[in-house]
């Protein structure tokens, strides 16, 4: 994430701020320029940029619910911003608890969309382009109905909204033996399935994908069933980023993809804070240093990204342990996983891919994973 300041008074802002706590100006995020803009009301629900009265915006319609601080240029006839237009179903807001859940969900989703904008990945709205595009369904279990499974199917990303409840999410983490489970992590994983269909399936990188991740034509339902019944091989860490990545090549891709987004976003934040790590171990030995001097989105060589990530994540893990928290990044990245991450970096950066992206439509491969081992596995 970039580091934003109020364009009126220079006060530091969080990405979620809709008002500057120092000068009280309204703040909005403009997805076109990826900037946060200090605003002054100019009547009729419009706002103009501080110091530039000719640039006028209005807030996304979800601003009224406190779930969005993004702004839309006055002359665009969209009701929702780039992040909110991807919503297909939002939680039932007549239930008070859902208002809190939805806010948490939107914070994570807006951060996801910011990363996708930074990577310049295509983000069509499924409602407009049925054969491709993304939409989000934020659903709750019905008392008598089937459980809602968080997953992806041909651009439709479903989230069981109870995952916004910390107690539920932590229980699921424990039950599934996971080390990391967040709303942002869910979104980064599920969107990975979407981009597999868009960037890999029936495309030239498919061959290399199969070399690195395995053959995705293996029966998905059976693979997941086997994963939940048999558990893990003891040396999974040599080849996979997480236990769940061992279930099927699609899951390996989505897990690795989500880590790619974790790393890029975190390194971007580190870059904007000019973070440097220069360990001074008790032994006096020379250890790897990291100085995040470059925006990671501008780095073409993935090895350079890894060389920053390892010292940085070790340092932040150590800070967390000093506070009695869990590790910030509770994973070990093996050389095989570095190869997979580098492949994702290459695919995302490929210029030819940008051209091809415009002329393909993804197939209808489903990849729905279950939230708990007993729920129905669908394909
Ligand atoms: Zn300010
Ligand atoms: Zn919005
Ligand atoms: Zn998945």
Tens-place pLDDT, residues 94-144: 999 999 999 999 999 999 999 999 999 999 888 777 778 999 999 999 988
pLDDT score, position 194: 97
3-state SS class at 349: helix
pLDDT tens track for 336-377:
999 999 999 999 999 655 545 554 444 333 334 433 333 333
CA–CA gap between residue 328 and residue 263 (Å, rounded)? 12
CA of 106 to the centre of ligand 2 (A): 9
Distance 66 CA to ligand 3 centre (A): 30
Q: Which uninterrupted H or E stretch holds 335?
A: helix 335-349
Distance 149 CA to ligand 3 centre (A): 11
CA of 45 to the centre of ligand 2 (A): 15
Please name which ligand lies nearest the alpha carbon of 158: 3
The predicted pLDDT at position 351 comes to: 61
Ligand nearest to the CA of 157: 3
CA dist 372 and 369 (Å) reads 9
How far does residue 63's CA lie from ligand 2's centre (Å)? Answer: 7
Q: Which ligand is nearest to the CA of 114?
A: 2
Q: What is the pLDDT of residue 367?
A: 39
**Sign of the torsion angle spanned by Cα atoms 50, 53, 57, 58:** positive
The overall average pLDDT reported for the chain is 91
Which ligand approaches the C-alpha of residue 196 most closely? 3
C-alpha 366 – ligand 2 centre gap (Å): 28
The pLDDT, as a whole number, for residue 357 is 54
For ion ligand 2, residues whose CB falls within 5 Å? 60, 62, 68, 70, 81, 84
Ligand closest in space to the Cα of 258 = 3
What is the DSSP-derived secondary structure letter of residue 377?
A: P
Ligand nearest to the CA of 80: 2
- Beta-strand runs (E) in 250-322: 276-277, 290-291
Cα 48 versus chain centre, distance? 30
Backbone angles phi, psi at 40, to 5 degrees: -125, 140
**232 three-class SS:** coil
Ligand in closest contact with the CA of 12: 1
Using the CB atoms, write b or e for 251-277: b if 16+ within 10 Å: bbbbbbbbbbbbbbbbbbebbeeebeb
Q: How far is it, in rounded angstroms, from Cα 60 to Cα 29?
A: 10
Compute the distance from residue 244 Cα to the ligand 3 centre, in Å: 9
Question: For residue 335, is pLDDT > 70?
Answer: yes
| Measured distance CA(302)–CA(342) in Å, rounded | 5
pLDDT computed for residue 354 by the predictor: 59
> Looking at the CA of 18, which ligand is closest?
1
Distance CA 26, CA 69 (A): 10
pLDDT of res. 373: 35
Output the CA 36–ligand 1 centroid distance in Å: 11
Average pLDDT over residues 322-345: 97
Q: Which ligand is nearest to the Cα of residue 253, counting in written order?
A: 3
pLDDT in tens, 307-317: 999 999 999 99
Show the tokens assigned to 234. Answer: 């003891």
Q: For the segment 58-93, what is each residue's pLDDT rounded down to a tens digit?
A: 999 999 999 999 999 999 989 999 999 999 999 999
* Rounded CA separation 316/295 (Å): 19
Q: What does the pLDDT read at residue 209?
A: 98
The pLDDT of residue 230 is 86
Closest CA to 266 of 331, 178, 191, 200: 331
Q: CA-to-CA distance for 19 and 368, rounded, in angstroms?
A: 39
pLDDT digits (tens, 9 = 90+) for 209-232: 999 999 999 999 999 999 989 877
Phi, psi of 13 (to 5 degrees): -125, 150
State pLDDT tens for residues 252-303. 999 999 999 999 999 999 999 999 999 888 887 878 888 999 999 999 999 9
């Amino acid at each position: 994430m970039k580091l934003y300041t109020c364009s009126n008074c220079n006060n530091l802002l969080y990405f979620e701020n809709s008002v500057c706590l120092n000068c009280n100006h309204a703040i909005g995020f403009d997805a076109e320029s990826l900037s946060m803009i200090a605003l002054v009301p100019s009547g009729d629900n419009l706002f103009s940029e501080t110091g530039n009265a000719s640039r006028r915006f209005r807030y996304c319609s979800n601003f009224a619910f406190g779930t969005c601080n993004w702004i839309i240029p006055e002359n665009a006839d969209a009701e929702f911003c780039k992040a909110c237009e991807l919503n297909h179903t939002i939680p039932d807001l007549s239930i008070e608890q859902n208002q809190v859940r939805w806010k948490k969900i939107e914070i994570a989703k807006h951060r996801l969309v910011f990363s996708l904008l930074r990577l310049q990945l295509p983000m069509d709205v499924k409602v407009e382009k049925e054969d491709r595009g993304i939409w989000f369904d934020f659903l709750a279990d019905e008392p008598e109905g089937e459980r809602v499974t968080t997953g992806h199917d041909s651009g439709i990303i479903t989230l069981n909204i109870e995952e916004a409840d910390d107690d539920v999410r932590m229980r699921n983490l424990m039950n599934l033996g996971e080390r990391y489970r967040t709303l942002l992590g869910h979104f980064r994983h599920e969107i990975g399935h979407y981009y597999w269909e868009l960037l890999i399936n029936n495309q030239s990188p498919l061959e290399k994908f199969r070399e690195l991740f395995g053959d995705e034509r293996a029966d998905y339902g059976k693979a997941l069933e086997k994963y939940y019944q048999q558990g893990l091989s003891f040396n999974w860490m040599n080849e996979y980023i997480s236990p769940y990545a061992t279930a099927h090549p699609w899951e390996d891709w989505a897990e690795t993809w989500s880590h790619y987004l974790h790393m890029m976003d975190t390194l971007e934040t580190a870059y904007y804070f000019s973070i440097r790590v220069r360990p001074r171990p008790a032994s006096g030995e020379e250890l790897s240093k990291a100085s995040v001097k470059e925006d990671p989105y501008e780095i073409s060589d993935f090895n350079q990204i890894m060389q920053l990530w390892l010292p940085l994540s070790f340092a932040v893990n150590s800070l967390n342990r000093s506070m009695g928290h869990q590790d910030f990044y509770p994973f070990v990245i093996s050389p095989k996983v570095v190869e997979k991450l580098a492949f994702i970096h290459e695919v995302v950066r490929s210029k030819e891919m940008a051209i091809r992206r415009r002329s393909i439509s993804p197939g209808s491969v489903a990849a729905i994973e279950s939230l708990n081992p007993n729920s129905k596995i669908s394909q």
